[in-house]
Amino acid sequence: MTSPFQMPADGWVMIEPAGEHPNGDIVQVIDQKAINAIVSRFNDDAKAGKLSHGDSFLVDQEHFKNDPDKATTAFGWLTGLQGRKDGIYGQIRWTATGQKAIDGGDYRFFSTEYLRKDMEPLGENRERPLRLDGVTLTNQPNNKGMKPITNRAGVKIPETEPDPAKVIGPVVQWMQKVCIVKNRMMPANRPASRGNTSFQVVWDAAKRFFPEDFNTANEAINHDDVMNGAASARLQVLELTNRLCQAGLSPLAAYLFGQNQFPALFNRLNPMAQCVSNPKKLENSPRILRQAAVKIINQAIQAEINATKHPHSVVFARVMNREPIVGKFASCQITPAEVMVNHPGVWERLQMAAE
């Protein structure tokens, strides 16, 4: 008999983990200041009846309330927030639909929404959210470190996530040294985004000037723990590519550069990741997969237009809603690393479409 899913004993569920989370063209910084501001603003507005539904917030599914073609079904009502060291927790009054979905394990995570006008710019594409604009149920949360709403009753879930500070710290310290060397060697009028050659010179110089930092980062990156290998690799890849983007590389160039420098790291992202053995194939693969994503979207649009005779603008919105990951990848909103790590099924589809 299948065990039921159980809510936390205190009724508070995590809706946003602390940390720095890449999201499109920015990095959302959920630090203590962000947590305090979001929680305080929400609770104050709830008491004053100024939330979207008076004293509560609609909890829907998969951001459907933003799509006029989707039904806005209430799965629950967020009534209060609480700030903790590891993130933001919420108290939710579940509807019959939501309770059934949660108890049955249909949905186990949240995805948050913030408006750009409610962000505090921190420089280098980093922004701190100060006000929550929406909460929705999902099984593919964008921000990493999210705790599930429910766990199997009577089953202890193993802790497979490594300590982020131990995993990411050496990478961050090394990239700080790389940026120091870059700023010394490459004036503002010679951006690294012009190509990987000049950035490779910076990288090699940083290795000569700061060998200990590189060796520490290299050791952390190439250490493959049996339990935490894929989990630590995911954190390292996302942090490495993010830092390379901050140093001036485009998302695709950052992915290629990181994969060239640390192929062992990228090879252990997940069991479906293909080993890097042919440099020429490596250079072409992300571009080919991006083209495959565009092909999937275009074919789906054309098929629906032929079947429904609806205008392209309407069909485009529907297809992008059905294929959010493929669409974001095709439009360069997310990197190959994010697709490979977080959406292995989509990654496999793209590889098959590219053949």
The predicted pLDDT at position 153 comes to 42
Residues 193 and 196: their CA atoms lie apart, in Å, by: 7
Q: What is the DSSP string of 298-341?
A: HHHHHHHHHHH---HHHHHHHHHHHSHHHHHHHTTSS-HHHHHH
86 strand-pairing partners: none
Phi-psi region of 150 (alpha: psi -120 to 50; beta: other; left: phi over 0): beta
pLDDT tens digit at each of 355 positions of the chain: 334 455 665 668 888 988 888 776 788 899 999 999 999 999 888 888 888 778 888 888 776 666 666 656 788 888 889 998 889 998 888 888 878 877 777 777 888 888 888 989 998 888 999 999 888 887 766 666 566 665 434 433 334 444 555 556 787 788 888 888 888 776 554 444 444 447 888 898 999 989 888 888 888 776 655 334 555 666 677 777 777 877 777 766 777 788 788 877 776 654 433 443 333 343 346 677 788 888 888 888 888 888 888 877 678 778 888 888 888 887 777 777 777 767 777 877 887 787 6
Q: Which of 298, 311, 168, 156 is nearest to 228 (CA)?
A: 168
Are 305 and 315 within 8 A, CB to CB? Answer: yes
The per-residue b/e assignment along 43-82, b for 16 or more CB within 10 angstroms, e otherwise, is: bebbeeeebeeeebbbbbbbbbbeeeeeeeebbbbbbbbb
88 strand-pairing partners: 16, 83
Q: Which two tokens stand for residue 317?
A: 């919105």
